[in-house]
Chain A
Amino acid sequence: MSAQATTAAGTHASLYGGGLRSWLTTVDHKRIGVLYGVSALLYFVLGGVEALIIRLQLASPTADVVGADTFNQMFTMHGTTMVFLVLMPLSAALFNYMIPLMIGARDVAFPRLNAFSFWTFLFGSVLLNLSFFVGSPPDAGWFGYANLTSRQYNPGMGIDFWLLSVQIMGIASIASAVNFTVTILNMRAPGMSLMRMPLFVWMALVVQVLMLLAFPPITVAFVYLLFDRFFGTHFYIPSAGGTPILWQHLFWIFGHPEVYILILPSFGVVSEILPTFSRKPLFGAPFMIFSGILIGFLGFGVWSHHMFTTGLGAVADTAFSLATMLIAIPTGVKIFNWIATLWGGHIHFKTPLYFAVGMVALFIIGGLSGIMHASPPVDIQQHDSYFVVAHLHYVFFGGTVFGLFAGIYYWWPKITGRMIGEGLGKLHFWLMLIGMNLTFFPMHFLGLDGMPRRIYTYAADLGWERWNLIATVGAFVIAVSVLVFFVNAVRSLMSKEPAPADPWDAATLEWTISSPPPEYNFAVVPEVNSARPFWLHKYGPTRDISTHTRAEGTPAQPADPPARVDLPSPSAWPILAALGLSLVGGGALVGLWMVLIGAAVLVYCVYRWAFQPLERPGHPTFGPAGGE
């Protein structure tokens, strides 16, 4: 046992070494975070290629790059991929890697459940993309309105792949939401009260609660759809007395909180980066926390603003319109507080700051067009037009993608132990900023000029080709910027220069440990007495808003643990259980026998998992061998 304990802490070899088997059975939140991140970035490329195909087809009127059906499949897969396979797992990557480090914990509350979440997500995402190989990807849009998804109007397997895979990934999300809610509430370092918790962790907590409450309605919606398609029920079939509008309600009761599930992590990242690079505390942290909570809470009461053209009546439209407008208030508070954080600071223009500021600047545009959509009379013109496509991309690309890239650049040294090139990083930023505005800003004009979304072709006499061509050029600029990012990433990983533990002179706990972190994260459990523990240690005690006293801060971690640290053993049961679960879902497309095999594998693996001790002989231990 003690042989294993002698591996040097905080090196690539100790954290990321080991063969394939060690990655398949890992329960380390850092490795799982990397797995989420790598998968999400690969899917980002795939979803991006789908977007380029869409843009090529629309670059000119009556183009024939792809046919009508292929086009419908492309935008459906692009939307589903970007929402469920890119933005959510990329947020999950940062949650996984950073939350335990930021709250001073050695892992998440349920390490094996964490592994199960990742593998379930991965198998679900693979199932979705398997639809390409059987020639039948889904084609009803990422929110798949009933009754276009019924067997009658969509007899192929595409919708089945879509609903089963998103359902499977939903299980991964719920499991991970339980895990991180417990982790954040129960595993914070001594002294880290909720109001001393970093903003990123706060936003993550709000996101976990949103996932816990938002995924059940979509699960119900999918179960109804599954029954309609497989067992001939009529939940959404109007000719048999069902109502397709039920789907819209259930979907958007999930779908609107989902928007905040996608954007709040980015808010959290920006709220970490702006203080670090302006060398000031976050302005009005309590306002920021409560406005984040309020955004999440109000997010459950606004779903019908996606349905102003459905015909719900004037009273419902008014109620949902006013509720939606209310969200602008806490969102505005966030923007103003971010600007106030920069105000009076000493701003250091590093790549993470570029992306964080870009996120704020672009999200403002998406937020303001969102206010327009909150007004039903205006929305019924813009709904389902390219104006909405512009709006949602300013939120998801300008907001979420820029915010998450800010996080990737910010925590890259911590995660990889290598610095990443500033020059290429800034090139990436400028190209992405220009490409993003070239692509999406003209879509506002197209929407106002009457171009509906999800059309594979348009007549030449409508005057839409100019802005469409510009948008297509912009999409390729974005593609080049992503290429620059990958070049930068590879160059960084191949470089030999190690990153310092605290390259940005930051304030939070993750910078008190080496880069990359040791497997056990913290050699000693840190004591926290401030919202900016490391900053106060470095710059001397100052009056801190979270303590109202002169706190001393938390010092950097010692190189080696003074007392023995035990970590959970790797386990194969989570990945095998996830495989069983995916067989249950995917088996529905093959035959009952496969469902039953999957169920048997799932039950067996969960049983073995439940009876397997967390720490078994040979489990990783560190520090002095004494005390055995």
Chain B
Amino acid sequence: MPVSIRLQTPKVVSRERSTLQSALLAVLLLPIAGCAAVQPPDWQTLQPVSDFGHLIQDVYGDLFWWTAGIFVVVELLLLYALLRYRSGRSESEVPEQVHGFTALEIGWTLLPAAILFFIAIPTVRTIFQLQGAPPDPDPLEITVIGHQWWWEFQYPELGIVTANELHIPVGRTASLTLTSADVIHSFWVPQIGGKRDLNPGSENKLWFTPTEVGVYHGQCAELCGTSHANMRMRVFVDDSATFAEWSAAMREPATPDSAGMMAFLVSGCAACHAIAGTPAQGRIGPDLSTVGRRTTLASSMIPNTPETMAAWLRSPDSVKPGALMPDLNLDEQRIADLVAFLEGLR
């Protein structure tokens, strides 16, 4: 191709043209180079671990190759036109004044339409698949309630209420009912699949069947206020034995230590937090019945250790800006008591 260009326009200023040429090529190759640099991409949305994620991945794969192909062809046409028809002639010379070519224009109207047809078919099929009834007639029902800025998970059949860490058994369809206690949030665990909003005042449905055991990162995807960025969660896909063990433990929490319980009540924690089988039945903050079993605190921002728990109690706002949990001005002794008590809730 470069040879024929030189033959056509021998008078061009080669230096300027070669910089232009290489720069344009660089721009064109940048994305490809970018892709190559991280090959193979281990990006979360491209590593699905559920049937939901795989269905999305299939459509994405189709679209990626169609769009990548169109991208390369169209950009190369543009680049070719620029290099091939670069003027080396005097200003006054005029090329042939072509106004159009109707057959060609109809052609490139129909061609995208034809390609869209191939994109539309898997798209529509998958829309109805994803929003139809769950494939499993007896899915695990879970209610997800969004709060500023944490997640509440309820398992109505199992009688479990927990927060920020969702446990589900591998291979069994989970059917989520999504709603919000305050503003709009959006449930997103990239490796599980796409988002679904949690709308206050109405319910959304989302189902998926996890296919691989593991712990997956998720977070709120709809701006929901100050600590939107900190509204994270962890999804534990357990094998059936581990899940059974977990759910049994969750249903039979250890009896709270009575001295610690007193510190909890005196400090006012019960106004917002619940501990099963005790007078503490607040529903504003996360249920703490088994908080000691969680691996993280503060909507998965920090690991759950006595030190981080103490830091959280000392000043929730400096861990999670805007946190609705007030700073209760607890003294260090009280904090130590509460930490010991809370970590013992298992």
Contact = CB atoms under 8 A, between A and B. Distances in A.
B2 interface: no
B74 interface: yes
Most buried by B among A140, A279, A369, A544: A279
Q: Name the 3 nearest CB pairs between A and B, nearest first.
A: A380-B194, A238-B201, A455-B229
A505 interface: yes
B44 A450 contact: yes
A364 interface: yes
Contact of A452 (B100, B202, B219): B219
Nearest to A240: B201
A364 B194 contact: no
A284 to B, nearest CB: 4
Interface residues on A, range: 35 or more
Interface in A181-207: none
A279 B195 contact: no
18 contacts: A72-B226, A238-B201, A244-B184, A244-B200, A280-B95, A311-B178, A311-B197, A311-B204, A311-B205, A318-B127, A325-B116, A328-B116, A342-B81, A343-B81, A347-B85, A357-B78, A377-B126, A456-B229
A379 B190 CA distance: 12
Interface stretch (B128-136, B241-249, B263-271): B128-136
Given A148-B183, A340-B101, A455-B228, 5 more contacts: A243-B201, A309-B222, A325-B120, A332-B111, A377-B126
Contacts of B108: 332-333, 336
A284 B103 CA distance: 11
A452 B183 contact: no
Interface in A123-162: 140-141, 145, 147-148, 153
A321 interface: yes
Interface string A53-70: 000000000000001110
A117 B299 CA distance: 48
A625 interface: no
Contact of B70 (A340, A357, A368, A377): A368
A326 to B, nearest CB: 8
Contacts of B55: 377
A522 B95 CA distance: 30
Given A239-B201, A285-B99, A380 B78 contact: no
B112 A328 contact: yes
Interface stretch (B23-31, B156-164, B250-258, B276-284): B23-31
Interface residues of B, number: 99
Interface of B: 16, 20, 23, 27, 30-31, 34, 38, 41, 43-46, 55-56, 59-60, 63-64, 66-67, 70-71, 74-75, 77-78, 81-82, 85-87, 89, 91, 93-102, 104-105, 108-109, 111-113, 116, 119-120, 123-124, 126-128, 130-132, 148, 178, 182-184, 186, 188, 190-191, 193-197, 199-202, 204-205, 217, 219-230, 232, 301, 321-322
A347 B87 contact: yes
A454 B184 CA distance: 14
Contact of B196 (A311, A335, A449): A311
B111 to A, nearest CB: 8
A377 B34 contact: no
B219 to A, nearest CB: 6
A309 B95 contact: no
Contacts of B184: 145, 147-148, 244
Contacts of A347: 81-82, 85-87
A372 B63 contact: yes
